[in-house]
Amino acid sequence: MEEKSVALLNTLVEINSDRLLGYQTAFDDTQDADLKNLFAEFSLTSKDCKKELEAEITKMGGTPTADTHASGNLHRAWIDLKAAITGDSRSTILSSCEFGENTAIDTYDKALSDSSSGLTGAQQTMVINQQKRIQSNLDRIKGLMKVMA
């Protein structure tokens, strides 16, 4: 088992756990049907990415983490999202989601740029494909924000 690869993939599991919790919070607390649909879809992206990463970690002989990235920026973004939802402002909610997705993209960028990560070509492809899905979510959030501006 390549411990560094497992640790790196577990970091991505944590990020997707954070995303999943954040979008579930957003879904539960917003009244806007279009945002509920969007957040439900983004939750599925998070679940799919997380499951794929966990399967890869298990295949490598590692143990997938059950933690979130509680000490990181993404956790703070989701706390801000909860506060934003309480204030019931679409623009504030979407801005918090944008921050969270940017943080996730940055984490994926760091994972992909770490030349000592030990990720195989197939694992790198999986991470790149997941990052593209998250980027697509981010682009949709930005699109909604432009419409509101």
Give the model's confidence band at 128: pLDDT under 50 very low, under 70 low, under 90 confident, else very high.
very high
User: Above 90 in pLDDT, residue 2?
Assistant: no
Mean pLDDT of 99-115: 91
Mean pLDDT of 117-134: 95
User: Above 60 in pLDDT, residue 105?
Assistant: yes
CB 81 within 8 Å of CB 25: yes
Mean pLDDT of 130-135: 98
Helix ranges restricted to H, the chain = 3-29, 33-59, 73-87, 90-113, 121-148
